[in-house]
Chains A and B, each alone.
Chain A
């Protein structure tokens, strides 16, 4: 499939992407970025101003929604309130004039998979949020369409159920081999569910790729702060070529290897570093590498500790694993490596240096043996 849209009002522009069959593709972005609009354009509920949408080899721009052979799950589930769960599930089949016996069979099968068998005779209003969500999912699955569109299906559920449904949806998608196009504003959902994710901002693609690649090598400062929690720490910085140093936030001076300083351009940059790459300084660390920072906020989460500090005018966050007994106002030494930084061009936001040293947070399987 390939599609590129160009809407006149520029709600969405220059989208050009191919979604592979059987892929779990996540569209993610802040609210109002056009992700739902894009999904609705794929579904045929919104017209395409220009460009072409292909489903398979067929140009689908002017096909009506039911001819596109896809199913959709809505944010508010859109269950028919006057029909029972069973009738809701088979509604689409009934419209397509599938035989009654086949309908029953397929509904029973899907209900079994999703644990809805006991609720088939109930009306949607007698179900809890999670059950309704599963009915909506069942309705999408039962149609056996090769493509399934989901528009923030989990946003009305509580946190625990959401985590459960995330794995559930992923499991079903893998089992049935459906091509899933999934819209969310939640970066955790995007990271955990997607084979590939597309980050949208103001109707334009920011980056498309595997979640982990996007996390490690964000294409611009927007992606850097959108993906990851807490977000990547950013600060304006300049290169000081004479001293072979980079000045971050007017305060922090870091030495840069001489072969690399040549490649750094003269104009203003934005430097970014993930909170987990700011390391605690140990007793044996050389004194000149330590940076003393004053803690402004501490969050102890049990298995990790997040604390904030001021670097120049920016508030940065560091994330260390374990429980750290740090008080607000403490001055603590930390280590910052040049290698862990990403550098972006300040004006265009282009990535000019990837973070190379992921040191203590990336592991391979061989570590386990």
Chain B
């Protein structure tokens, strides 16, 4: 497609200004993370010198590496758990015929209407009764079954021609082998999308880890950040922002690496 020069300039102007708007908070946080307290209070945008003092402080004050590791473990296990549970559920909803399948599916989907916060208290009690407070399974297990993920994968699985299923039946593939050797590779894009979605959601989760963790052992990084804020009366924003920058690095990495797959997967789900 060819566009005239003025139009191009206009489009680029719009893109740059909107991306600046969207990215401004992150940039500002990045700059603040290098500022000293007085500098910040003066309302400056650019720090006088790029000192790494705040970063050293944040690692001093908090077991940040420990928190990061916890967050990573929790996010990865939720991601894997979601992929396993959702893909198996979606497989059943598409390829196995049983009575009341559609009804069960819509019941399943309708749970998307219930906000997560509404079910949080009962969930918390369940975890408490299981004596799973301050454990990884307490943090991860409630998120394995995801209606949205099942829906997303089901939509993709439905686009797989049933002849593939029949051909593999004739070839002598068992139900699970068909799932593993045909369905999963064919739906790679959707799986990547769901995986990234699951990872990021869990990484950014705040309320649930706050309820479930009472000590440092499995506490995640988002709670750690909050701790930085409330520890003292006069919050050192520079230190907090340094923490924030450390925390969003994995998120950004994931976004840059998986951008193409993510786009493909999401638009596929939207079109079908």
Contacts and interface: CB of A to CB of B under 8 A. Distances in A.
Interface of A: 40, 43-45, 64-67, 70-72, 74-78, 80-82, 91-92, 95-96, 143
A76 B163 contact: yes
Contact of B167 (A44, A70, A72, A82): A72
A71 B172 CA distance: 11
Nearest to B184: A82
Contact of B170 (A66, A77, A80, A81): A66
26 contacts: A40-B166, A43-B170, A44-B170, A45-B166, A45-B170, A65-B166, A65-B170, A65-B172, A66-B169, A66-B171, A67-B172, A72-B166, A75-B163, A76-B163, A78-B161, A78-B166, A78-B167, A80-B164, A81-B186, A82-B182, A82-B188, A91-B171, A92-B172, A95-B168, A95-B177, A96-B171
A82 B185 contact: yes
Contacts of B164: 78, 80
Classify chain B's interface size.
Answer: 10 to 19
Given A66-B172, A95-B171, A95-B173, 10 more contacts: A40-B166, A43-B170, A45-B166, A65-B166, A72-B166, A78-B163, A78-B167, A82-B182, A82-B186, A91-B171
Nearest to A70: B170
Contacts of B182: 80, 82
B167 A74 contact: yes
Which of B166, B170, B188: most chain A CB closer than 10 A?
B170
B169 A45 contact: yes
Interface string B144-185: 000000000000000001011011111111000100001001
Interface in B111-162: 161
Contacts, number: 56
A159 to B, nearest CB: 24
Interface string B84-97: 00000000000000
Nearest to A46: B166
B93 to A, nearest CB: 20
Contact of B169 (A65, A75, A143): A65
A92 B172 CA distance: 7
B183 to A, nearest CB: 10
A6 to B, nearest CB: 23
Given A45-B166, A82-B186, A76 B161 contact: yes
Contacts of B177: 95
A64 B173 CA distance: 11
Nearest to B166: A45
A151 to B, nearest CB: 9
A124 B168 CA distance: 16
Contacts of A64: 169
A45 B166 CA distance: 7
Given A80-B182, A82-B185, A74 B172 contact: no
Contacts of A75: 163
Contacts of A95: 168, 171-173, 177
Contacts of A78: 161, 163-164, 166-167
B225 to A, nearest CB: 41
Contacts of A82: 182, 185-186, 188
Q: Which of B163, B171, B172, B185 has the most CB of A within 10 A?
A: B171
Given A80-B182, A82-B185, A82-B186, A71 B170 contact: yes
A74 B166 contact: yes
Contacts of A67: 172
Contacts of A92: 170-172
A40 B170 CA distance: 11
Contacts of A44: 169-170
A286 B121 CA distance: 104
Interface in B183-198: 185-186, 188
A248 B214 CA distance: 99
Contacts of B172: 65-67, 92, 95-96
B34 to A, nearest CB: 47
Contacts of A81: 186
A143 B172 CA distance: 11
Contacts of A76: 161, 163
Nearest to A71: B170
A253 B270 CA distance: 68
A91 B163 CA distance: 15
A40 B173 CA distance: 17
A223 B185 CA distance: 47
A139 to B, nearest CB: 8
Contacts of A43: 166, 170
